[in-house]
């Protein structure tokens, strides 16, 4: 076997995406191996809809406004500041709960005074309950999510003033 034939074998192995090839002829043994391509997983998170966007969709449905007009308006309002620099955001993706059990009172309500470290809610992720603690001292100005709502990483949950 000459070098040209070996090069042809290498090209054939490469073109056919073989991961290994072995050839034995007399006292000559040729072994070709290629690394497998590792699959790449790409995840894209869809933006969550806030209450204003949901209300906008409901209003648009009754007023004959097209979906593209609603989307355009939602994009314009997406970058709006939520009105406070004291915002507690979600540290993970999961389901938000306002209380420790369905029959218990909510951890906090709008107008409650909170201290740094006080539990504001719970996010369930993979059957684990993660307490969400206040990062600030102040008064709860707004609760930006509903009970049992799915939240995304970094999504604003509470506004403290």
Backbone angles phi, psi at 99, to 5 degrees: -145, 170
- Kindly state whether residues 88 and 29 are assigned to the same domain: no
What range defines the domain where residue 19 resides? 3-33
Number of residues written out for the chain: 161
Q: Is residue 29 part of a domain?
A: yes
For 107-135, write each residue's pLDDT tens digit: 999 999 999 999 999 999 888 889 999 98
Q: How far apart are CA 110 and CA 120, in angstroms?
A: 11
Confidence of residue 139 (pLDDT cuts 50, 70, 90): very high
Is 22 found in the same domain as 88?
no
**pLDDT band for position 19 (cuts 50, 70, 90):** confident
Token pair listed for 15: 């073109």
146 occurs within a structural domain: yes
Do the domain assignments include residue 158? yes
Rg, C-alpha atoms of the chain: 28
Confidence (pLDDT) at 82? 52
Residue from 143, 144, 138, 145 nearest 160 by CA: 138
Number of domains in the chain: 2
What is the side-by-side strand order in the sheet with 113-114?
87-89, 156-160, 138-143, 113-114
- CATH at 111: 2.40.50.100
Q: Residue 36 is encoded by which pair of tokens? A: 């497998």
pLDDT of 81 > 60? The answer is no
């Amino acid at each position: 076997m000459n070098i040209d034939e070996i090069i042809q074998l290498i090209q054939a192995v490469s073109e056919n995406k073989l991961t290994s090839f072995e050839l034995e002829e007399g006292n000559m043994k040729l072994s070709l191996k290629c690394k497998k391509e590792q699959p790449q997983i790409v995840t894209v998170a869809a933006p969550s809809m806030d209450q204003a966007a949901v209300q906008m969709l409901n209003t648009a449905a009754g007023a004959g406004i097209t979906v593209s007009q609603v989307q355009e308006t939602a994009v314009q309002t997406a970058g709006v500041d939520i009105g406070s620099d004291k915002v507690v955001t979600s540290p993970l993706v999961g389901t938000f709960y306002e209380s420790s059990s369905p029959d218990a009172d909510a951890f906090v309500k709008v107008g409650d005074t909170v201290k740094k470290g006080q539990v504001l809610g719970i996010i369930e992720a993979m059957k684990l309950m993660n307490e969400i603690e206040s990062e600030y001292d102040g008064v709860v100005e707004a609760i930006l999510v509903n009970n049992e709502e799915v939240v995304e990483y970094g999504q604003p949950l509470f506004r403290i003033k």
